[in-house]
Structure 1
Amino acid sequence: MNVTIDQKGDSKVAIVKSSEILLGDVQSALDLMAVLRYDHECHKIIVHQSNVAEDFFDLKTRLAGDILQKFTNYGVQIALVGDFEAYNSKSLRDFIYECNQGRQVFFLKDEEAALQALHRSGGQ
Structure 2
Amino acid sequence: MNTLQTINDVSVLMCDAEGEVIAGEREALDCIGDAGYQGARWAVIPVERFDEAFFRLSTRVAGAIIQKFVQYRVGIVVLGDISRHTQASPALRDFVRECNRGTQTWFVSDTEELRERLAGPAA
Q: Give the TM-score of the pair, scaled to structure 2.
A: 0.88
- Gaps spanning 5+ residues in structure 1: where? none
Tell me what 1:5 maps to. Answer: 4
- 1:13-59: CA deviations, max 9, x gaps? 11110423442110110111112211x11121110000111100000
SS in 2 for 1:17: coil
Tell me what 1:32 maps to. Answer: 31
The aligned amino acid for 1:52 is F
Matched, 1:61 2:59: yes
Identity %: 32
Tell me what 2:102 maps to. Answer: 102
Tell me what 1:71 maps to. Answer: 69
SS in 2 for 1:78: strand
The aligned amino acid for 1:98 is E
SS in 1 for 2:26: helix
- Gaps spanning 5+ residues in structure 2: where? none
Q: Report deviation, 1:8.
A: 4.4
Does structure 1 retain, via aligned residues, the 8 Å contact 2:12–2:44?
yes
Does structure 2 retain, via aligned residues, the 8 Å contact 1:45–1:78?
yes
Q: Report deviation, 1:119.
A: 5.1
Change (3 A) 1:98 1:83: same
Q: In the aligned structure 1, how far is the partner of 2:8 from the partner of 2:107?
A: 24
Question: 4+ runs of 1 displaced by more than 3 Å?
Answer: none
Q: In the aligned structure 2, how far is the partner of 1:8 from the partner of 1:114?
A: 9
